Amino acid sequence: MRYLVTGGAGFIGSNLVRLLLKERPDAEVVTLDALTYAGHLLNLADVRDSPRHRFVHGDVCDGALVRDTMAGVDVVFHLAAESHVDRSIVSDAPFVRTNVLGTATLLAAAAELGVSRFVQVSTDEVYGELPWEDPEDGGSAGSRFTEDTPLAPRSPYSATKAAADHLALAYHTTHGLDVIVTRSSNNYGAYQFPEKLIPVLIAFALRDEPLPLYGDGLHVRDWIEVDDHCAGILAAEARGVPGRVYNFGGGAERTNLAVARAILGALDKPSSLVGFVADRPGHDRRYAVSFERAREELGWEPSTGFDEGLKRTVDWYVRNRPWSEAVLGEAARRGRG
């Protein structure tokens, strides 16, 4: 089987490439990545030269390149995306181009070439926000997004991902393309670009600088370890029903403040390093997803508890500080850092 992973030099994408090569001995994997600021060949250093892996440097909006790269591919995993909410607030044009036009370009090629399955990897942010509930006093047992929750995106980033999801499902209905859409809660783990919450907080803590939490620090997210998420994506590709949406969550709701304190504890740093900065516009208060459909139809559930996964993640970033410095330096040289 030949698989195409778009965005395969990014955080989730590189972990998915690695898992595909490990779990499927007959897999041939093609990675397509434009290597924008958050995509780095360093993320694929241990698998880039595998005889079962080929890297293609290119843009998912380039129709000719996409068709050429997709020729002979059985399954597409589409992860290429602009993904940082803060950046989408500053400038939404790159998000519209990559997340909407890029997805449309890939879907058209997949339909033309007869790809057997197209997996659109999305986010729980397309659902909007949930009422705030305190995860420390039983709130996490309350409301959660399901796959039938109406989409109500509240940032330019999530709006473009919602548009991409609609496009993918429309291709299933209109053109008969075998499409699966997956939506996960917040990912964490190795190789995450140091702009997202957990790697940012680790970096500040290692420098003994105040950890910058937006607003009151009580925004709630459900955290999923990236390897669990990638296992879910593979389960959806292998056993999912065409035209269905599958949510993947970690069952680990935490306030950002609790995450910051856990990171400080793991690094033996004082809690006085917790700091607060002005909140960002339209900051969704809470996300949490139900993954009952994935459990029942795919036989999937998360295997990594948050405390264990966070400790492993902190240890990885401590051991790999040169990686963080290298990718940030490369991003700055590209003029996008």
Q: Is 336 helix (H, G, I), strand (E, B) or coil?
A: coil
Which residue shows structure tokens 């994935």?
294
The model's pLDDT over 17-34, given as tens digits with 9 standing for 90+, comes to 999 999 999 999 999 999
Question: Pick the catalytic residue: 125, 129, 133, 237?
Answer: 125
First to last CA, the chain: 37
Which residue shows structure tokens 């843009």?
59
User: Distance between CA 317 and CA 203 in Å, rounded?
Assistant: 8
User: Distance between CA 125 and CA 146 in Å, rounded?
Assistant: 12
Is residue 210 within 8 A of residue 274, CB to CB? The reply is: yes
For the chain, give the mean pLDDT: 94
Q: Average the pLDDT over 279-288 and give the result.
A: 91
Q: What are phi and psi of 111, to 5 degrees?
A: -65, -40
Is residue 68 within 8 A of residue 106, CB to CB? The reply is: no
Question: Pick the catalytic residue: 3, 37, 127, 157?
Answer: 157
Percent of the chain with pLDDT over 90: 85
Please check the confidence at residue 227 and state whether its pLDDT lies above 50. Answer: yes
pLDDT value for 138? 58
State yes or no: is 157 an active-site residue.
Answer: yes
Q: Is 198 helix (H, G, I), strand (E, B) or coil?
A: helix
User: Distance between CA 123 and CA 186 in Å, rounded?
Assistant: 8
Question: Pick the catalytic residue: 28, 33, 124, 133?
Answer: 124
Q: Which domains does the chain have, with CATH numbers?
A: 2-333 (3.40.50.720)
State yes or no: is 125 an active-site residue.
Answer: yes
